[in-house]
Structure 1
Amino acid sequence: MPLHFELVTPEKLLRSEEVHMVTVPGTEGDFAVLEGHAPFMSTIRDGQLLVQRTAGGAPEPIAIRGGFAEVSDKGLTVLAEHAD
């Protein structure tokens, strides 16, 4: 099953899609999220989200600054202060 991923900035919803895995630059270190991950919240540091659309697919980097990530039974939501 795919992971539902949303990337949100104060201005707008940038992404809402089904992906295989997302690697997030957490303040305590990078962490990867797959479908079925336990509920979790983390602040994020400036860095790159790595979005892997399919298993074995090349990750797509998205530069982000600040914010937090929430993993819930609905998927992963990244609320970033800024994203490119």
Structure 2
Amino acid sequence: MQMPLHFELVTPEKLYRSADVHMVVVPGSEGEFGVLEGHAPFMSTVKDGDLSIYPTAGAAPERIRIEGGFAEVNERGLTVLAERVIEA
């Protein structure tokens, strides 16, 4: 069984989300990319778009609209530092 990915979504104002999830698809400035647990260290700028958060394998994604920022994958998981989160 695959281990969960630790995911954090942070804005300048607050920690918006912190959860263990199956996968996150990020709107990178060079194209979308998916991150699972064990992903190689990676850093990317983020364009305006939807983060797709898959809580478990095969589950429908939760979508959160973000504007700009950076994404970093390291041994602790994925952190998205968004300039802004657009509330639905």
**Which TM-score tier does this pair reach, normalised by the shorter chain?**
over 0.9
CA RMSD of aligned residues (A): 0.3
User: Match for residue 83 of structure 1?
Assistant: 85
Q: Residue 19 of structure 2 aligns to a residue in which SS?
A: strand
Give the Cα separation in 1 of the matches to 2:84 and 2:50: 11
Q: Residue 38 of structure 2 aligns to a residue in which SS?
A: coil
Q: TM-score, normalised by structure 2?
A: 0.95
User: Match for residue 5 of structure 2?
Assistant: 3
Structure 1 unaligned blocks of 5 or more: none
Structure 1 outlier segments of 4+, above 6 Å: none
Q: Report the AA paired with residue 8 of structure 2.
A: E
Alignment of 1:65-76 (within 5 A): 65-76=67-78
Give the Cα separation in 2 of the matches to 1:71 and 1:83: 19
Structure 2 unaligned blocks of 5 or more: none
Alignment of 1:1-84 (within 5 A): 1-84=3-86
How far has the Cα of 1:64 moved from its partner? Answer: 0.2
Render the CA deviation track for 1:40-75: whole Å, top value 9, x for unaligned.
Answer: 000000000000000000000000000000000000
